[in-house]
Amino acid sequence: MHALQLLGYFQSYQLTWSYLLDQLVAGLTLGSLYGLMAIGYSMVYGVLKLLNFAHGEVFMIGAYIGYFVLVALGGAAAPVVPVALLIILMLAAAMIGAGVLGVAIERFAYRPLRKARAPRIAPLISALGVSFCLQQLASIFFGTAYKQYNPFGLSGGTLTTPWHLGSLEVSWMQVIVILTTAFFMLVLWQLVTRTQIGRAMRAASFDLEAASMMGIDVDKVVVFTFFVGSALGGAGGVMNGLYLSNVFPLVGFNVGLIAFTAAVVGGIGSIPGAMVGGIAIGLLQSFAIGYWSSAYQDVIVFCVLILVLLIRPTGILGVPAPQKV
Amino acid sequence: MAEDTTPVVGAPVSAPQIGVDEWVSRSAERILGRGGLLGHAERQWLRLPGTIRFLGLFGLAALIPVATSDDYLIRIGTVTLVFALLALGLNVSVGFAGLLDLGYIAYYGFGAYGYAMLASSKFGVHWQAWAAIPVVVGAAILLGFFLALPSRRLVGDYMAIVTLFFGQIFYILVTQGYRISLLGLNKDIGLRSANWDVTGGPNGIANVDGFRALGVTALTDHAYFYITLIAVALVFAGLHFANRSRTGRAWRALHDDPLAAQVMSMRVNWLKMLAIGVGAGIGALAGTINAALLQGAFPDDYNTMVLITIYAVVILGGAGSLPGAILGAIVVIVGLEALRPGTEFSDWTSNGRGLFYVTILIILLTTLRPLKRLAAVLGGLVAFGVLMHVIIGAAWSRGVHGGILNSAGTFSGGGSIGWAIRHWLVLPADTYQVGGYTVYNYLVVLLIALILCLTLVHGVWRDLLLIPTIWLGALVYEARLIEEGSGATRFLLLGVGLIVIMARRPQGLLGKPRVEIV
C-alpha cells in the first residue's frame, strides 16, 4: 500500500500506470484541441498585437456548421457518405465558414479601429461586442439547448470505443483528433515558412510598419491571418464536437478562455508556442481532474499558469520583446 | 511601437488623422467647437466653475426620487449608480494608470461577500455598516495590493491575463466554497473530512442585513439611492483631486510610458499597486452597497458577464474620464433596462417605447447637421415606412396592421401614436411569439448587416442607408424585442452598439483622443 493511499488521498486504481497513461492520452487529445484554437489567438496577436476575444465564438460557429453538415448528411447514426468523407466534409465546411466569419469580424470590428489608430483597449471592447452578438445570434437561431453530435453512433460506435494497447486505452476518436491536429500544424508550418504570403506574415508580425514600407500589402496579410486562424478555430470546433459530443452557444467562451491561456503560456505570437501551451494545459487539466478535483481543475490550471508566467513572463517559447527607447 | 501605422489606402478620410500636421493646424477650429445654440450652451456650461457643475448635476440627480415615486425607476437609478461607482473604480487602474486589470470583478465580489459574511445570519454576525464597510474596503485594498504583486513583473497583456485568472479563480472559489474540507479543497475522490460551508456555493448568501447605523436600518429603495449617490459623489470628488495631485500626474506618466516614468525616478511598482489598490477599495465599496441593496450575495452577480458590462461602461464613457464613467453607466444600464422585455419599464404605459423612439430622435438631432440634411432624413424615414407599408400590405395576406400591444392579433391600441406606428411599420397580425415565426430572426440579421454597412459608407450614402436601418430597427423593436421572453436580442443589440460606437469613437463618448505627433 502506498502512503498516500493510506491517507485516503488516492484510490488504488489511481496509482496504476495504466491510469496515468489514460490521463496522458486524454490530456494530449484535449491539448491538441486547445493548441489548434490557441494558434488563432497567437497568429492574430503576432501580426496586430490584438487580443481577439471573439475567437471563441468563431470556434462555436465552426462547431455549429460541422453539426449542421452532419445532420444534412444523415446524422451520425446513418450517414449517407463514408465516415472518413463525412468528417472531412464537416471539417472543410466549418473551416471555410469560420474563416469567412473571421475575415468579416476583422473587416467590421477591427479594421476601422486600426485605421483610426484607436487606443489598444478599444478593439478589446469591439471584440467583446462581437462575442455578445455571435453568442446571442446562436442562441436565437440554434436555441440554447445542447446539440448532440452523437459521435457514439458513428460507424456503429467503433470510433469511440477504446481499444487496448497493453495497459493503455485509446479510442479512434482520440487518434483522429491528435493526427488531424498534427496534420494541420504541419500544413500551417509549411504555409508560414515556405510560401510568399507566409513570409509576408512573418515580416508583418516582426514589424508591421517596416513591412508595409517594404511593399507588403499589410491589409492582405491581416485578412490572410484572420482567415487561417479562424479556419483552424472552426476545425477545432468540429473536433471538439466529435470528441466531447456536443455544442451549445456558450461553448466558445469556456474553451476560448483556456485556449487563450494556452496561447499566453506558450508565448503569445509564437505558433509552435501555442501548440506547446495547448498541450501543456491539456495535460495539466487532465491530470488535475484525474488526481485531484474536477471542481477546482480550472483553479489548479490558473495557479500553475500564474507561476509559469511569473517565472517566464513571456511564456514558454515567447521571445522577450526588446524595449526600444 | 509596432502598432499599425499603415497609411490609409483607399479609405475615405473625413477628418485628418490625429497628430498629423493638418490636425494640429486645425486645433483652433476644434476649440471653438460647434456653432449654433447647442454649441453656445456647451461653451457656457463649460465656462462654469467645476464645483458648480458638480453640485448642479448631483443635485439634479438627488431630485429624481422626489420627482417620481415609481420604486422601479429608483431601483434602476440605484443600479446605474452602483455601476457608475464600479466604473469610477476601474477607471483608476485602466484609465489613469493604464493597467488592464481584468480581475476587477473579484474586488466587487469580495466587497459583497465580505459584507454578507459580516452582516447576516450566515455566521450569526451582525455588524453595523460603519464598522463593516471600512473593514471590508480596507481588506479589499490589501487584497488589491497583494494581487497587484505580479504586475511588478508582468506587463501589458500578460498582466491582463493573470488578472483575468484572479477573477475566474474568485468565481470558482465562491461557487465551490460551500464544501471546503480539511485536507485539500473539496476532493472529489478519496478522503472526505467534514465540509465547511463558507460562501453558500451556487445559492450564495441570502438574508443579508441592510445598512445599519445608530439604530437605523436602511431598507427602502430611496435610502439606497441616496447612499449610493453620496458614495458616487464622494468618490468622484476624491478621484478628481487625486487625478490632479502628484500621484495622479505620476499615474498618467505611467499610462503614457512606463519606461520613461521609471527613468524620471517615479516609483513605478508602487504606483501600479496603489492604482489597483484604490480601484479595489472602490470596487469593494460598490460590492457592499450591492449586497445590502439585494439583501444577499449571489455568485452570478460577480461573473465575467458583469465584468464585461463594467468594462463597456468605462470604455464607452471614455477611459480616464470621470464624467464619462457616469455617462457610460447611464447609457449602458438604462439602455439595457429599456430594451428589457416584459418589465415594468417597458410596460409603463409604453414609456419604454417612448424612450426607444426619443433616443433615436435625439441621436439623429445631435448628429445630423445641417438642418436640411436632418429634414431630408426624417422625411425620407416617413416616406420609406409608408411606402413599405403599402407595398408589403398589398402583397401579404397576413396583414400589416398588427402589434402595438402585448396580446397577439390586436389591431388597435396605442392611441394616435399607435396608429402612426402601425401604419408606418409592417406588423403582421400575430407578431413574434406566434408559432416559430422565424422571419424576425432574419430581420435581426439584416438589421445587424445594415448597421455594420453604415460604418463603411460615407456622405450621402450613409444618410440613404440610415433610413432603412432605422425603420428596420423600429420594426425589430416592435415585433421582436417587446415580446421576447429571453434577453437574447437585447444583448445582441448591446453587442452591435459596442462595435459601432467603438468604430465611430474609439476613445469613448467623453474620452479625449490620445495625441501622437507624427
SS3 call for B384: helix
Q: Cell numbers for B217, please give them.
A: 436600518
pLDDT over 70 at A18, yes or no: yes
Residues ≥6 apart with Cβ < 8 Å to A53: A124, A127, A128, A130, A131, A256, A260
**Looking at this protein, which amino acid is placed at residue B173?**
L
Are residues B487 and B440 part of one domain? yes
Are residues B80 and B147 part of one domain? yes
pLDDT over 60 at A2, yes or no: no
Are residues B461 and B402 part of one domain? yes
Are residues B498 and B424 part of one domain? yes
Which 142-161 residues of chain A touch chain B by CB within 8 A? Answer: 144
- Give the model's pLDDT for residue B483: 63
pLDDT over 90 at A63, yes or no: yes
B318 or B414, which is more confident: B318
Report whether B345 contacts B337 (CB < 8 A).
yes
Average pLDDT of the residues of chain B: 77
Which of B161, B162, B181 should be substituted to probe chain A, the one whose Cβ sees the most A Cβ atoms within 10 Å?
Answer: B161
- A124 interaction partners in chain B (CB closer than 8 Å): 100, 311, 315
What sign has the CA pseudo-torsion B171, B177, B182, B185? negative
Are residues B334 and B357 part of one domain? no
Are residues B467 and B377 part of one domain? yes
**Looking at this protein, which amino acid is placed at residue A219?**
D
Contact yes or no for A118 and B502 at CB 8 A: yes
Domain boundary among B283, B308, B339: B339
- Give the model's pLDDT for residue A61: 94
Are residues B448 and B331 part of one domain? no
B333 belongs to a structural domain: yes
Q: What is the pLDDT of residues B104-134, one digit of tens each?
A: 999 999 999 999 888 887 777 788 878 888 9
Q: What is the CATH number of the domain that holds B137?
A: 1.10.3470
Domain boundary among B307, B339, B371: B339
Report whether A114 contacts A120 (CB < 8 A).
no
Question: What values do phi and psi take at B179, rounded to 5?
Answer: -150, 60
pLDDT over 80 at B69, yes or no: no
Q: What is the pLDDT of residues B269-285, one digit of tens each?
A: 899 899 999 999 999 99
B25 or B13, which is more confident: B25
- ipTM score for this prediction: 0.78
Domain boundary among B287, B319, B339: B339
B21 belongs to a structural domain: no
CATH class held by domain A11-311: mainly alpha
Q: pTM of the predicted model, to two decimals? A: 0.81
> Could you count the other beta carbons within 10 Å of the beta carbon of residue B193?
13
Question: What values do phi and psi take at B197, rounded to 5?
Answer: -105, 110
Are residues B359 and B232 part of one domain? no
What is the rounded CA–CA span in Å between residue A242 and residue A150?
8
B510 belongs to a structural domain: no
* CA-CA-CA-CA dihedral for A176, A178, A184, A187, to nearest 10: -110
Please give the tally of structural domains in chain B.
2
* CA-CA-CA-CA dihedral for A61, A67, A69, A72, to nearest 10: -130
pLDDT over 90 at B139, yes or no: yes
Q: What is the pLDDT of residues B416-440, one digit of tens each?
A: 667 777 778 777 665 544 445 567 7
What is the rounded CA–CA span in Å between residue A210 and residue B130?
59
- B153 interaction partners in chain A (CB closer than 8 Å): 310, 313
Q: State the burial class of residue A96 (Cβ atoms within 10 Å of its Cβ: 0-12, 13-18, 19+).
A: middle
A29 or B204, which is more confident: A29
Compute and round to an integer the Cα radius of gyration of chain B.
26
pLDDT bucket at B20, cuts 50 / 70 / 90: low
Residues ≥6 apart with Cβ < 8 Å to A20: none
Report whether B201 contacts B177 (CB < 8 A).
yes
Are residues B125 and B245 part of one domain? yes
- A295 interaction partners in chain B (CB closer than 8 Å): 172, 176, 185-186, 188
What is the extent of the structural domain holding B447?
350-504
Are residues B276 and B186 part of one domain? yes
What is the rounded CA–CA span in Å between residue B206 and residue B120?
8
By C-alpha distance, which of B516, B498, B512, B517 is closest to B95? Answer: B512
CA distances for B367 relative to A113, B34, B109, B113, angstroms: 20, 11, 39, 44
- What residue has cell string 455598516? B129
SS3 call for B55: helix
pLDDT bucket at B6, cuts 50 / 70 / 90: very low
Domain ranges of chain A: 11-311
- A313 interaction partners in chain B (CB closer than 8 Å): 153-155, 158
